[in-house]
């Protein structure tokens, strides 16, 4: 029995939001929490890294300095990581960090110990912690302190101004501004009141612009960190090349195993039947004149052998590319698989029925589904199977999800040389993922997740 349920899929759009003045104020406390400790962080980073680095350089002639320089690089990495964490706390988006573990470097004590000396990321972190961070950190801290001090001092100056003793010789700022704006005026204004009003106005102006200043200084730190402390695009490309090489190797292994299994199946099945058929025909030929009835019975048996051999060859040919898959696509092929299963299969479709994918994607998904349904029917003891096909988007990547869920006894696991391990190799060739959830007692859910090209 095959049940098909169709659910339309949709891709959520991207919503753009504008930064409002209220949003700036909402994040200002976190940004102040990032900017105010900058002096301490900058001085500490400069002191520690400079001391370690120049000590190591001075002692490099006796070889001990080499290890001190390596320790300096690790320390610079720590200060850089602290800067990234602080930026994250300040509300900035996550910055992708470098991949420090270089598995391609291979084993060896010296290679592992002195590896940072040939890693450009470590030296950029050192440059950031020893030169860039002290400069930009002290600058941003100074601007922040001045802005906060003027803002708070201005709006509260009228309170503590009454405590101070006025000598009468102070320069009146409001008088300077009035004389500059209105030359020759002889206005009489209460000096204390005018000065306090001016200070309150200046304080309010600085407080009103404080969120803009904190956001700008935080963005400056963020931009520098993204340029110096983030992973390089070449790193991602290197990992991509390594991943593709591994995927290609896995695909070749899976293909080799499939060919060997096909060779074994042909040898153990159709080939043996054909040998027997040849022998039966030879025997019938010898008895055709002396014992026609016996020869006729042998020919009937030979015809039965030929029919069984043809059916077995057809079954094996479906392992290459069944005609229904080529003509009508993956969904029709999965419907056919579900209909031919010896265990009732409920086919749940969350794609448009007319969806067509790349031929290699459809072929691999079909083979995986066929293998999983066969395994469930043979080994799980299940009485019902669900075959679920859907598409989703995750982090900008489209995926095809194929699940086979049965109500059997469970306990399925990947074992070297067995079916699930071979399926994982096949999926690795497409940079896909095989997930297995099969507790003892069931149920078993095996998912094949295949990335789709744009």
Nearest residue to 210 via CA among 27, 16, 376, 2: 27
Domain-terminating residue out of 294, 317, 340: 317
pLDDT at 15: 39
Residues 343 and 226 placed together within one structural domain of the fold: no
pLDDT in tens, 420-436: 777 777 777 777 888 88
Question: What's the pLDDT tens digit per position in 51-88?
Answer: 999 999 989 888 888 899 999 999 999 999 999 999 99
Range scoring the smallest mean pLDDT among 3-17, 20-34, 93-107, 186-200: 3-17
CA–CA distances in Å: residue 411 to residues 353, 383, 408, 442: 34, 16, 9, 7
d(CA 401, CA 334): 13
Rounded CA-CA distance 276/265 in Å is 16
* Residue 3 within a domain: no
* pLDDT (0 to 100) of residue 45: 94
Beta strands in 355-425 (DSSP E): 385-394, 397-406
Looking at the domain assignment, is residue 152 inside a domain? yes
Average pLDDT, rounded, for the chain? 78
CB-facing half-sphere around the CA of 262: CA atoms within 13 A:
14
Residue 238 lies in a domain: no
Give me the pLDDT at residue 417, please: 55
Residue 404 counted as domain residue: yes
Let me know whether 419 and 433 are in one domain: yes
In a domain, residue 240? The reply is no
Task: Name the strand (E) or helix (H) holding 3.
Answer: strand 2-6
Q: How far apart are alpha carbons 385 and 268 in whole angstroms?
A: 30
**391: pLDDT strictly greater than 70:** yes
Q: How many CB atoms lie within 10 A of CB 71?
A: 15
Q: How much is the average pLDDT of 353-373?
A: 83
Top-confidence residue, 19 or 69: 69
Q: How far apart, in whole angstroms, are the C-alpha atoms of residue 288 and residue 90?
A: 95
Answer whether 229's CB lies under 8 Å from 83's CB: yes
Q: Are residues 132 and 71 in the same domain?
A: yes
Residue 165 lies in a domain: yes
Q: Are residues 328 and 346 in the same domain?
A: yes
Within-domain flag for 1: no
278 and 182, same domain (yes or no): no
- Return the bridge partners of 445, or none: 405, 437
Tell me if 12 is assigned to some domain: no
Q: Give per-residue pLDDT as tens, 172-211.
A: 665 566 656 657 666 656 566 666 777 788 888 998 999 9
Mean pLDDT of all residues in 293-300: 79
* β-strands 385-394, 433-437 pairing: unpaired
More confident residue, 27 or 300: 27
State whether 65 and 200 are in the same domain: yes
Residues 262 and 173 in one domain: no
The b-or-e profile of 95-120 (16+ CB within 10 A means b, else e) is eeebeeeeeeeeeeeeeeeebbeebe
CATH number at residue 407: 3.30.565.10
Please tell me which of 100-109, 240-249, 379-388 the model is most confident about, judged by mean pLDDT: 379-388
Q: Residue 265 belongs to a domain with what CATH number? A: 1.20.5
The pLDDT value recorded for residue 11 is 35
197 shares its domain with 263:
no
d(CA 426, CA 401): 15
Which structural domain range is residue 331 located in?
323-452
- As for how many domains the chain has, the answer is 3
Following CA atoms 349, 350, 353, 355 in sequence, which dihedral angle do they give, to the nearest 10 degrees?
A: -120
- 101: which 2 tokens? 């573990």
Residues 93 and 216 placed together within one structural domain of the fold: yes
What token pair was written down for 116? 């940072």
296 and 281 co-located in one domain:
yes
Q: Let me know whether 106 and 215 are in one domain.
A: yes
pLDDT digits (tens, 9 = 90+) for 407-416: 888 887 776 6
Helices 21-35 and 191-228 pack at an angle, to 10 degrees, of 80
| 160-183: average pLDDT | 58
Q: What is the pLDDT of residue 356?
A: 85
For 227-267, the pLDDT digits (tens) are 999 887 765 556 565 555 555 555 555 566 666 666 666 66
Q: Average the pLDDT over each of 316-320, 337-341, 344-348 and give the range with the smallest value.
A: 316-320
Q: What DSSP string describes 187-230? A: ----HHHHHHHHHHHHHHHHHHHHHHHHHHHHHHHHHHHHHHTS
**Pair (217, 279) in one structural domain:** no
**Which residue, 196, 231, 266, sits at the end of a domain?**
231
Q: Say yes or no to pLDDT of 6 above 50.
A: no
Domain C-terminal end among 231, 261, 282: 231
């Amino acid at each position: 029995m095959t049940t098909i349920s169709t659910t339309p899929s949709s891709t959520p759009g991207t919503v753009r939001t504008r930064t409002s003045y209220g949003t700036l104020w909402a994040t200002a406390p976190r940004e102040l929490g990032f900017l105010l400790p900058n002096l301490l962080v900058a001085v500490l980073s400069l002191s520690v890294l400079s001391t370690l680095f120049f000590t190591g350089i001075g002692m490099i002639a006796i070889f001990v300095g080499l290890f001190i320089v390596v320790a300096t690089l690790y320390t610079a990495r720590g200060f850089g990581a602290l800067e990234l964490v602080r930026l994250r706390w300040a509300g900035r988006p996550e910055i992708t960090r470098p991949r420090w573990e270089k598995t391609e470097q291979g084993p060896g004590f010296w290679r592992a110990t002195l590896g940072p000396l040939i890693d450009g990321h470590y030296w950029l972190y050192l440059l950031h912690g020893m030169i860039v961070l002290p400069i930009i950190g002290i600058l941003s801290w100074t601007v922040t302190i001045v802005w906060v001090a003027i803002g708070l001092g201005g709006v509260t100056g009228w309170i503590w101004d009454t405590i101070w003793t006025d000598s009468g010789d102070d320069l009146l700022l409001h008088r300077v501004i009035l004389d500059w704006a209105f030359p020759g005026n002889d206005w009489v204004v209460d000096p204390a009141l005018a000065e306090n009003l001016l200070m309150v106005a200046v304080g309010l102006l600085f407080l009103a612009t404080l969120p803009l200043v904190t956001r700008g200084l935080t963005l400056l730190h963020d931009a520098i960190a993204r340029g110096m402390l983030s992973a390089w695009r070449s790193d991602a490309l290197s990992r991509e090349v390594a991943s593709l090489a591994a995927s290609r190797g896995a695909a070749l292994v899976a293909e080799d195993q499939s060919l060997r299994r096909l060779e074994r199946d042909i040898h153990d099945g159709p080939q043996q039947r054909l040998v027997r058929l040849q022998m039966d025909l030879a025997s019938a030929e010898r008895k055709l004149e002396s014992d026609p009835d016996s020869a006729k019975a042998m020919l009937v048996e030979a015809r039965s052998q030929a029919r069984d051999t043809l059916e077995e060859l057809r079954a094996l040919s479906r392992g290459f590319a069944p005609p229904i898959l080529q003509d009508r696509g993956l969904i029709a092929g999965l419907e056919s698989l579900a209909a031919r299963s010896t265990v009732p299969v409920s086919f749940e479709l969350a794609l448009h029925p007319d969806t067509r994918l790349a031929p290699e994607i459809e072929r691999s998904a079909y083979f995986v589904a066929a293998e999983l349904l066969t395994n469930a029917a043979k080994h799980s003891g299940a009485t019902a199977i669900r075959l679920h096909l859907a598409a989703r988007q995750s982090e900008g990547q489209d995926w095809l999800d194929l699940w086979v869920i049965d109500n059997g006894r469970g306990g399925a696991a990947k074992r070297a040389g067995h079916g699930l391990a071979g399926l994982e190799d096949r999926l690795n060739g497409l940079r896909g993922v095989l997930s297995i959830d099969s507790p003892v007692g069931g149920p078993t859910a095996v998912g094949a997740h295949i990335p789709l090209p744009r």
